[in-house]
């Protein structure tokens, strides 16, 4: 992919601008003291104190306490009292999103199973085949002439089987690219396959997984989708569109009160990274970003003995407010939750099989390479059989090469069995969970594919916390809305699309939910000494709310209004972001 000259010039301009601004900020930080006043400030420090005022100097917190105490100590400080009737909480941390996928989604025609409220438009959700095809046909008719139609949000369990022949009926001329909700599957019409040069010869190396690339249906999933993706990148990552999508994503994340994001499994692609640095790393960004590489993506481009060096090289790719974390890597066990490709101990009701994203030899080899070099390993897992593989591999490496505070992280935590929790605690793992699975999938999967009992217990957070396992929450944007309040709401209530409570014993308290999007999210990234609570010495990152999430009714958490954020002492009011 060759980027436009404009992108390169913008990048150079950004670097120069960032350098000049950095000098100014360093000079300013030495003296400026601000005092933020609020109705209630939830510190989430070791004592969970609630205070009225917090003093900051430059980027750091220097004192928390009562308004009277803080203003007496710093009588000449600048008083920020715009939010004296609001609630301040530690800055929300969305530690698992995918900026590139989010940018593609923002540029797509969203047709999903639920409504999506974006900064510039709203998409109404549909949950049956006829409504999906009808709405897709309407979108196609109103789509700009001579442009490919890219739509995200399709879900076969709601919308039925979709093939290239269905899409050809909508248009036999315009390329139509349907991105499955999971982003692990693509369905293409004939003009799209012609445009991208996709033919049956491309899938000879899939071996026993040839069923994952159905050329006749135009359907490519998991490893089949991985083979198609480089061709799709020509369309999905067109430079101008990519920049626009990343800008929309930045605005969307700010609107949800996020001050720090994590991107686990960033692709080894310098052109994509340059675009992300340009938008997310820019001096005006209202949040900071922390990326780390994908071992799966690296293994596709390098020999196993080269992967570690490639990962280390990639950690030097950040710029400005976008950083790479050293000694973090993401591995993958089984397939997508939204595609029912998780690998289950007891299989599926319809006898279909889940899929491994890494075969056992590759998974164990990569795990050992990064484990022995001291990396924190984050592992994409959705099925309980995949969790067995993860725990077995971890236990073996701990025995061969003991490590303390390794923080191996179970990512997504879709299905698990209760007997696995004690082993998880014993082995010292952390959980990074997507509670929105329960909202979107627990009712449907109770009836299709997995069964009632197992689906009631999906994302087993109540049991995990009872066992003493550290739990953080993420959206995996765009798998769920990147809204920490929505994630809290989902974990506290566990209401699903059918209006029922799925697994009430797995609900967690509001304080645990708030910790899961602040201090525990920082813990998963090994940044808890800098972020996640409001206490002296940490960065002055706050999210400003109109209601207290700990005292409001459980069912109103997602409706709390975001008033603004503070990033390292700088105020970013809501809806006043400069793009």
Per-residue pLDDT tens digits for 270-305: 999 999 999 999 999 999 999 999 999 999 999 999
pLDDT at 443: 95
For residue 240, pLDDT beyond 50: yes
Is there a domain that residue 122 lies in?
yes
**Which residue has tokens 């083979």?**
227
* Reported pTM: 0.91
Q: Are 246 and 322 in contact (CB under 8 A)?
A: no
Computed over every residue of the chain, the mean pLDDT equals: 92
Per-residue pLDDT tens digits for 143-179: 999 999 999 999 999 999 999 999 999 999 999 999 9
In 494-572, alpha helices (H): 510-516, 519-524
Pairing of strands 258-266, 92-94: parallel
Query: What's phi and psi for 184, nearest 5 deg?
Result: -105, 5
Is there a domain that residue 574 lies in?
no
pLDDT at 361: 97
For residue 13, pLDDT beyond 50: no
Q: What DSSP letter does each residue of 440-493 carry, written as one string?
A: HHHHHHHHTTS-HHHHHTSS-HHHHHHTT--EEE---BTSS-S-HHHHHHHHHH
Range of lowest pLDDT (259-263, 397-401, 446-450): 446-450
For residue 31, pLDDT beyond 70: no
Is there a domain that residue 222 lies in?
yes
Is there a domain that residue 389 lies in?
no
Query: What's phi and psi for 123, nearest 5 deg?
Result: -110, 130
Range of lowest pLDDT (160-164, 212-216, 494-498, 574-578): 574-578
pLDDT at 34: 97
Query: What's phi and psi for 371, nearest 5 deg?
Result: -60, -50
pLDDT at 80: 95
Q: How many domains does the chain have?
A: 1
For residue 237, pLDDT beyond 50: yes
Is there a domain that residue 282 lies in?
no
Rounded CA separation 6/9 (Å): 5
Rounded CA separation 138/200 (Å): 31
Residues belonging to the chain: 579
SS (H, E, C) 393-417: HHHHHHHHCCCCCCCCEEEECCCCC
pLDDT at 47: 79
Neighbouring residues of 53: CB distance < 8 A, sequence distance ≥ 6:
35, 36, 37, 38, 41, 64, 65, 66, 67, 69, 70, 71
Q: How far, in Å, are 80, 532, 550 from residue 40 at the CA level?
A: 14, 17, 11
Is there a domain that residue 186 lies in?
yes
**Which residue has tokens 């960065």?**
539
Is there a domain that residue 192 lies in?
yes
For residue 507, pLDDT beyond 90: yes
Is there a domain that residue 305 lies in?
no
Host domain of residue 140: 99-236
Band the pLDDT of 202: cuts 50, 70, 90.
low
Band the pLDDT of 233: cuts 50, 70, 90.
confident
Two structure tokens written together for 275: 């675009």
Picking from 250, 209, 246, the residue whose alpha carbon sits closest to that of residue 227 is 209
Range of lowest pLDDT (115-119, 132-136, 184-188, 516-520): 115-119
Average pLDDT over residues 135-140: 96
Rounded CA separation 557/21 (Å): 38
Q: What angle do CA 523, 525, 530 make, to 5 degrees?
A: 65
pLDDT at 204: 67
Two structure tokens written together for 439: 């909202």
Neighbouring residues of 551: CB distance < 8 A, sequence distance ≥ 6:
none
pLDDT at 1: 42
Where residue 524 falls (left for φ over 0; alpha for ψ -120 to 50; beta otherwise) is alpha
CATH number where 117 lies: 3.10.310.70
Comparing 226 with 546, the larger pLDDT belongs to: 546
pLDDT at 20: 41
Average pLDDT over residues 454-460: 96
pLDDT at 11: 53
Q: How far, in Å, are 67, 188, 431, 433, 470 from residue 521 at the CA level?
A: 29, 37, 10, 10, 9
Q: What angle do CA 112, 247, 484 make, to 5 degrees?
A: 60
Per-residue pLDDT tens digits for 297-330: 999 999 999 999 999 999 999 999 999 999 999 9
For residue 373, pLDDT beyond 50: yes
Rounded CA separation 159/338 (Å): 12
For residue 520, pLDDT beyond 50: yes
Q: Which burial class, exposed, middle or buried, applies to 567 when counting CB atoms under 10 A from its CB (0-12, 13-18, 19+)?
A: buried
Two structure tokens written together for 547: 């209601």
């Amino acid at each position: 992919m060759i980027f436009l000259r404009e992108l390169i010039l913008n990048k150079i301009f950004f670097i120069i601008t960032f350098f000049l601004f950095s000098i100014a900020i360093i000079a300013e930080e030495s003296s400026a003291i601000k005092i933020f006043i609020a109705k209630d400030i939830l510190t989430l420090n070791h004592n969970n104190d609630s205070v009225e005022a917090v003093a900051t100097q430059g980027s750091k917190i220097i004192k928390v306490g009562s308004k009277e105490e803080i203003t007496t100590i710093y009588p000449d400080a600048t008083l920020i009292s715009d939010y004296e009737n609001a609630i301040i909480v530690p800055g929300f941390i969305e530690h698992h999103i995918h900026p590139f996928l989010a940018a593609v989604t923002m540029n797509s025609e969203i047709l999903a199973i639920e409504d999506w409220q974006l900064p510039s438009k709203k998409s109404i959700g549909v949950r049956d085949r006829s409504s999906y095809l009808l709405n897709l046909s309407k979108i196609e008719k109103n789509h700009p002439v001579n442009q490919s139609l890219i739509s995200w949000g399709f879900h076969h369990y709601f919308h039925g089987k979709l093939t290239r022949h269905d899409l050809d009926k909508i248009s036999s001329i315009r390329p139509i690219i349907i991105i499955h909700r999971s982003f692990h599957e693509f369905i293409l019409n004939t003009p799209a396959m012609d445009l991208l040069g996709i033919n049956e010869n491309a899938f000879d190396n899939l071996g026993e997984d040839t069923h994952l690339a159905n050329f006749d249906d135009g359907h490519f999933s998991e490893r089949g989708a991985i083979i198609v993706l480089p061709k799709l990148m020509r369309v999905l990552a067109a430079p101008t569109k990519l920049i626009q999508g990343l800008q929309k994503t930045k605005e969307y994340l700010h609107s949800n009160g996020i001050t720090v994001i994590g991107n686990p499994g960033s692709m080894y692609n310098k052109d994509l990274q340059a675009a992300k640095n340009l938008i997310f790393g820019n001096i005006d960004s209202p949040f900071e970003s922390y990326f780390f590489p994908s071992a799966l993506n690296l293994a596709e481009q390098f020999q196993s003995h080269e992967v570690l060096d490639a990962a280390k090289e990639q950690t030097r790719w950040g710029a400005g407010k976008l950083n790479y974390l050293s000694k973090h890597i993401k591995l993958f066990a089984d397939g997508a939750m939204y595609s029912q490709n998780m690998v289950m101990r007891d299989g599926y009701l319809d006898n279909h099989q889940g899929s491994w994203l890494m075969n056992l030899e590759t998974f164990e080899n990569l795990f050992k390479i990064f484990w022995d070099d001291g990396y924190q390993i984050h592992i994409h897992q959705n099925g309980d059989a995949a969790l067995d593989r993860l725990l077995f591999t971890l236990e073996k490496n701990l025995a061969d090469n003991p490590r303390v505070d390794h923080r191996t992280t179970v990512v997504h935590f879709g299905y698990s069995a209760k007997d696995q929790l004690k082993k998880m605690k014993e082995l010292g793992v952390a959980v990074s969970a997507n509670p929105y699975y329960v909202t979107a999938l627990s009712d449907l999967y109770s009836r299709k594919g997995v069964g009632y009992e197992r689906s009631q217990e999906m994302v087993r957070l109540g049991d995990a916390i009872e066992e003493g396992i550290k739990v953080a929450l993420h959206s995996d944007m765009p798998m769920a809305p990147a809204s920490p309040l929505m994630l809290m709401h989902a974990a506290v209530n566990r209401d699903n699309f059918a209006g029922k409570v799925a697994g009430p014993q797995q609900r967690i308290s509001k304080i645990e939910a708030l910790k899961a999007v602040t201090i525990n999210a920082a813990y998963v990234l090994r940044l808890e000494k800098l972020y996640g609570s409001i206490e002296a010495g940490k960065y002055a990152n706050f999210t400003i709310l109109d209601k207290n999430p700990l005292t409001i009714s459980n069912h109103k958490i997602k409706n709390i209004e975001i008033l603004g954020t503070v990033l390292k002492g700088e105020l970013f009011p809501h809806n006043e972001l400069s793009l």
